Structure 1
Amino acid sequence: MGERRETITQPARTRALRPHPGCSSTAVAMSSAHLQLVDTGDPAALRIGWVTYIARQRGKVPPLPAPVRIEPVDDEGALIVLTSERFTASNPDHVASAERVTELLDRAGLVRSVAAP
């Protein structure tokens, strides 16, 4: 399981540690099926996927319910991993978890438009 977890989080961790000028303070890994379920029509809206990176500059990630994991990325921010198993948009538990985490992050002020300063 450790190797799979690393495979899941490595792209977002790499993005967080090697930011590019003009890039947003977030990164997300999600399927197109999940994106279609949560698409609000706002291209700047932050969507929470299987793995989501939120930079420290956006704010502190609050405690989240299990099985969600929060993994620090050095002093740069945090990775939020919704589930250690493969996330699928056809699994109602996975979708409900993403919705719950989105609500909690919104309350913490972290879901504001990624275009916002």
Structure 2
Amino acid sequence: MGSISYGAGASVIHIEDRALAHLKIVIATKLRRNESFTLSWRHPAGEAVGRSTIWLHPSIPLRFTFDEPEPPALNARWIEDLMHSANSTGGISLVDEMVDGGDG
């Protein structure tokens, strides 16, 4: 389970490594463009039931920490889905990965 450390108080948000790798691409792209946006997610198992939203801004300290030493293979469709979400008025919603079924 990876994490995002966010803000001067270093609030820690736990997110599964694979999802975090995909989020990192989208978040870094948005922040590189100097764009602010929200990120929303459902709390993982073991935490209080509910969901949270944070405001991401280029001036707020942000750190991604991964448990796995090697990055996973990335799913371009998932990144695209997250980017579409990021560009909406509601901001990024951490959606589940969609895997295309192949015909062989």
* TM-score of the two chains, using structure 1 as the length reference: 0.29
Structure of greater relative contact order (alpha carbons < 8 Å, 6+ residues apart): 2
* TM-score of the two chains, using structure 2 as the length reference: 0.31
Between Structure 1 and Structure 2, which shows a larger proportion of helix residues? Answer: 1
